[in-house]
Structure 1
Amino acid sequence: MAPTWQTDGHTWFLLPPQPRAVVHFLGGAFVGAAPQVFYSRLLEELARMGMAVVATPYTTDIDHAQLALNAAQSLHRSLQSKGLLELPLFGLGHSLGCKLQILACLAVPSLGSRRRGNIFLAYSNAGLDRALPLLRLLAQAWPQQQLADLWRMWMGSSSPPVNLWLEFEPSPAETNRLIEEQYPVRHNLLVEFRQDDIDDIPLLYQQLCRKYQGHTEWQHLEGDHLTPLGFSYPFQVGEEFSPIDAFGQLIYQNLLAPNHQMIRSIRAWLATQLAH
């Protein structure tokens, strides 16, 4: 059974009684504003294997460097306040969240240098012009009510989530330079989904292999750019488990089969890293 979600008003936590390690999570653009909702299935499964999950929400903006700094500083406060500083630390990101994890390692070097590893799901280092199709894909694939709820969250902020007339900071080219010159984490898991043609995993793999040969694993799994998203079981079964409940679970599990395969791969990689 997974621990219950907790929040301090800024960060979301899943805290097992005796955690083996800490997984810091950053979600993709826009859905990263509510990781406890949009990634609940993935994060709760990690908590079940004894990982303390620290999920940092963020409001999407073009200043990725500032978002990463905020996330790194928030993580440090969380590790202190929850007594987790001495545990092994892993980073986990999806899409834009992968780029932010890389930048966070550079923003607070003391945290970056002590990471045992990072996991990148459908890594994206797109420029602003190439990122717009991601937003259209999200709008087509995700329930409109959930998107409407997120929009109300963004509208409560003092600025719009994206300024379409500028470029991300740092730019894709500058991010690549920073990875080549400063990225400090030796052990990395890169997960590419076979139906995803908008990620930047191949280039990141080449970069990390040049820096840390033999310490980067690249997995090709079924799924697409949105596979990491997934809710926990979406409806309550009756007092007695009926054939209808069984059928509903079967359909649900089939729909989330790529998500489940991804979770198994992540759990196996984490277990291997902790055994070393």
Structure 2
Amino acid sequence: MREIFKFRPVSFSWVAIHPEPKGVIQFIGGAFFGTFPTVFYRYFLQELFEEGYTIIALPFRFSFRHWSIAIDLLKEQEVLRQELSEIASRLGYRQDVYQDKANYFWLGHSLGCKYIALLEFLSGEHWKQITESCVERNAYQQIETTISNAGLESASILAQPSLLIAPDISNTESAIPIRAIARFLDRVGLGVLPTREQTQCFIERSQLFNLTAMISFDKDTLAGSENDQFKDKQIRENSDVLWLIEQLKTRKFPILHKELPGKHLEPLGVRAGNYIVDLNPFDKFIKSLRCRMLEGYATQFLAQLRLRQSKIEDDSEPIKTVTTNLGNPELSKL
């Protein structure tokens, strides 16, 4: 059956339904660009679609209350599971894949990765005890009330793999670069919640994050890079990429990671002939597709995460390394 890459509105998302899906990718991008994911991330999402995935593009909603956004993403997944089955049935496509939660992947870029990390944390059985130890009592009560009002006490993304691209565990200063204003908002309780420090506390004390992969970029000054380990103390402390590598490398299944050439907005772009145009004059703007490795590594990491997922289900099977011939010798080094 011929694959037709076409986004259609479903619930609050945009969905490209694959006729023979091997999985479902739920994508959320970064601030501003993630508001129009079908435009700014079009090439990236189309390449993943052509690899055999149904794509759900979740438009970014700006707010300083990151808990509520993360929980809304979980609510959307529950709605879409039923909607996608019905649409696939009408189109004569495979529909069985949509009912099994294990077939869903989470993929984020920049701030979108923070929401995915919060959902992963909430999927652990000890999240309440950990939250109480990481935040003030009144903040914990607000979180519990938000989840209770959403009716999602038993819902989770447990055993659903996550691929984080240039993750930004945002603080108020990331959204408002004027430090005095950002600090004032934090003092009066109107800043970003959870804070970067609180989110790190959640991840550090959680037993999850075993099905996590990350792609970073060597010239990324927002999320950071693994090269930050050689820089001064302030840069090291502000590097979310470096912190996640250090924190998740000792898990039962260490984080899968690859650093590629590029800047923070590398995933953006639409195809123009043999070039990728990222619609951002402050980044690369235009680049030859022959130099682009992001989609190849993303596809391989998704396959490896699937193997880890089956390893968790059946601990008797050894994990195998997946390699794919994509015409680029660099990919064989994964």
In 2 relative to 1, CA 202–213 (structure 1 residues): closer, same or farther, beyond 3 Å? farther
What is the aligned length? 232
- Which segments of 5 or more consecutive residues in structure 2 lack a partner in the other structure? 86-97, 125-154, 224-239, 278-285, 311-334
Percent of aligned positions that are identical: 24
Helix, strand or coil at the partner of 2:168:
coil
Matched, 1:260 2:286: no
- TM-score with structure 2 length normalisation? 0.63
Aligned partner of 2:198 in structure 1 is 174
For the pair 1:89 / 2:104, whether they are aligned, the reply is yes
Q: Distance in 1 between matches of 2:290 and 2:194?
A: 32
Matched with 2:31 is: 29
Quote the RMSD (CA, aligned, Å).
2.6
Instruction: Report the CA distance shift for 1:258/1:131 in structure 2 as closer, same or farther (over 3 A).
Output: farther
Give, in whole Å, the separation in 1 of the partners of 2:203 and 2:290: 29
Q: Which has the higher contact order (CA 8 A, sep 6+)?
A: 1
Aligned-residue offset at 1:169: 0.7
SS in 2 for 1:112: coil
How far 1:62 sits from its partner (Å)?
0.6
Q: In structure 1, how many angstroms separate the alpha carbons of the residues matched to 2:264 and 2:184?
A: 22
Amino acid at match of 1:6: R
Output the amino acid matched with 2:105: F
State the one-letter code of the partner of 2:157. Answer: G
Give the aligned partner of residue 163 of structure 2. Answer: 119
Deviation string 1:75-125 (CA, Å, 9 cap, x unpaired) is 12112221312152211000100001111234566432130x111111001
State how far apart, in whole Å, the 1-side matches of 2:192 and 2:290 are: 31
Q: Report the CA distance between 1:220 and its aligned residue.
A: 0.8
Output the TM-score relative to the length of structure 1: 0.76
Looking at structure 1, the residues matched to 22 and 110 of structure 2 have their Cα atoms a distance apart, in angstroms, of 26
Structure 1's unaligned 5+ residue stretches are: 134-161, 235-248
Cα 1:119–1:173 change in 2 (3 A) is same
- Equivalent position of 1:219 in the other structure: 258
Give the match's secondary structure for 2:5. Answer: coil
Larger radius of gyration: 2
Query: C-alpha deviations, 1:251-272, integer Å up to 9, x for none?
Result: 5486154983111100112233
CA distance in 2, matches of 1:65, 1:258: 39
Pairwise mapping of residues 43-122 of structure 1 onto structure 2 (< 5 A)?
43-83=45-85, 84-86=98-100, 88-107=103-122, 110-115=155-160, 117-122=161-166
Shift of 1:163: 11
Distance 1:258-1:218 versus aligned 2 partners, 3 A rule:
farther
| Residue matched to 2:247 | 207
Q: 1:67 to 1:221 in 2, by over 3 A?
A: same
Maintained 8 Å contact 1:230/1:259: no
| 1:269 counterpart (273, 277, 301) | 301
Distance in structure 2 (CA, Å) of the matches to 1:68 and 1:130: 18
Q: In the TM superposition, what is the alpha-carbon distance from 1:39 to its structure 2 partner?
A: 0.8
Q: Distance in 2 between matches of 1:132 and 1:91?
A: 27
